[in-house]
Amino acid sequence: MVRSLRLTGSLIIALCAGGGLASTKAAEAPSAKAIEFFEKQVRPVLANRCYECHSAAKKIKGGLALDTKEATLKGGEAGVVLVPGDPEKSKLIEAVRYKNQDLQMPPKSVMPESEIRVLEEWVKMGAPDPRMEKAGAVAAKTGRVIDINEGRKYWSYAPVASPEVPKIPHPAVPIRNPIDAFVQAKLAEKGLAPAEPADKATLIRRATFDLTGLPPTPAEVEAFVKDIAPDAFDRVIERLLSTQQYGERWARHWLDVARYADSNGMDENVALGNAWRYRDYVTRAFNDNKPYDRFVIEQIAGDLLPNNEVTSREEALTATGFLVMGAKVLAEPDMRKLEMDVIDEQIDVMGKAFLASTLGCARCHDHKFDPVLQSDYYALAAIFRSTKSLGDDRFGALKFWYEHSLATPAQLEAKKAYEATVTAKRKEVTAFVAKTRSGIKEELQSHAADYLSAAAELDMNADFSEVEKIAGKPVQAKVLEIIQTACALALISLMLYVTSKDLFDPLGRGGKQDGEEIIFAE
């Protein structure tokens, strides 16, 4: 991520912002998001629940095949089963809901609620379906042969190279850098002329918005306009690249690729308490001009890098937050399925972010367009399966992600020593409390007769001053309260044992009535 490349990317984005109108055919085609939803959510449900009885490769019951778009829309002997955009009118949805006793599919058992919701959402979206095979052609299909050598020509798999800079014999405007040469060559090819150079006030405004997302201050504009030095604009760019706002502005684009959010999303929208650490890591990567190869490696395998410096170790561990981001079904009861779904999400984002490829499509079949076999997918999955992505703890039905400790070995040793000290002090406190209690208990027991004698001289409503006179010395109010209560209860109990119940009625009820019990707690 060298600065010249940063600026190049910025200018190219600005230059390539325009575009023509899509054709009607393209407008009708499923969007990339819709295709991804079908491939990752809908196709697995159809393959696992429906193809056994409704596919050309196996059998077609009731004249209904669901293995191609054409056959699915055509329906079967009972008519159309799918009405795009209207789940309530689609017999397919009615069958999987299991509410009609005469129409229930799959016939052996109802599908999981999550899969029913997937089909409902698919139909509601208009049933986007990228399967272009003709009905009945699937059974005869022997499989597409993937040409690996041809696939290597795809632009995202090719090594970065330095193309030859076009030579412009008579440039319409001065060629200040190789980018200008490429732009002018393409303009000449299309018969277009470059626009007039922007004035300095417009130029600094464009550059500042582009690199920081903020407008320049009036003072910055005035200073640049008055600066007639040949490198005035170069110094403006260097100043903007050195600001914190530059990293914040451009980190946002990568965070979109990395599916950054402060919470998990989905039905269980649990907060990602340390997500901000990854966000700040990406911002620092741009501001510190981190090399791109290091940026990639840290996010995929930062925990495996040999880092002797504390700062580098923390950076590398924080970078692996890239694999934690993204929506996950944390309440999935099937732990093996949850594990493989997390792996699939990690492979998918890695392919999109670093290879511009939808590797997730190969989870269920060889890729339809890119040179990726299903075996390649599971070779990657085996690597990711060795990664501890989920923690050992659960909170109710939810499973949580694994988080690295950022503590250094020295800090861990200090923590261990501190905990040992705390444990020792707790033992001392426990021993002291036990010894003190035992001493107090023995002293109270040895003077029980004195307390009973003293209590006999006290009125039940006696105040502390009267007790102090009998005790012979001042005592704490709390101790007095305990002694007074204990002695009073002991005296009452003693009197109850030595006095006839017929002569003493402590409750003032005129003696015990039939069926009543008088109970005293010791």
Instruction: Say if CB 346 and CB 384 are below 8 A apart.
Output: yes
In this prediction, residues 238-254 reach a mean pLDDT of 95
**Phi/psi of residue 365, each to 5°?**
-165, 165
d(CA 449, CA 446): 8
Shortest CA distance to 67 belongs to which of 139, 146, 117? 139
pLDDT bucket at 387, cuts 50 / 70 / 90 = confident
d(CA 270, CA 268): 6
> Against a cut of 0.85, is the pTM above it?
no
The DSSP output letter for 363 is G
What is the per-residue DSSP string for 365-389?
SS-SSSS--HHHHHHHHHHHHTS--
CB neighbour burial string for 441-472, b if at least 16 within 10 angstroms, e if fewer: eeeeeeeeeebeebbeebeeebeeeebeeebe
Q: Which H or E element spans position 395?
A: strand 390-395
User: In the prediction, which pLDDT does 22 show?
Assistant: 31
User: In the prediction, which pLDDT does 144 show?
Assistant: 57
User: In the prediction, which pLDDT does 137 show?
Assistant: 53
The helix-helix angle for 200-212 and 244-257 (nearest 10°) equals: 50
pLDDT tens-place string over residues 394-446: 666 777 777 878 887 888 889 999 999 999 999 999 999 998 888 888 888 88
Instruction: Say if CB 261 and CB 322 are below 8 A apart.
Output: no
In this prediction, residues 281-289 reach a mean pLDDT of 95
State the number of CA atoms in the 13 A half-sphere of 252 facing the CB: 10
Low-confidence winner among 43-57, 149-163, 365-379, 479-493 (lowest mean pLDDT): 479-493
User: In the prediction, which pLDDT does 310 show?
Assistant: 60
pLDDT at 135 over 70: no
User: In the prediction, which pLDDT does 6 show?
Assistant: 46
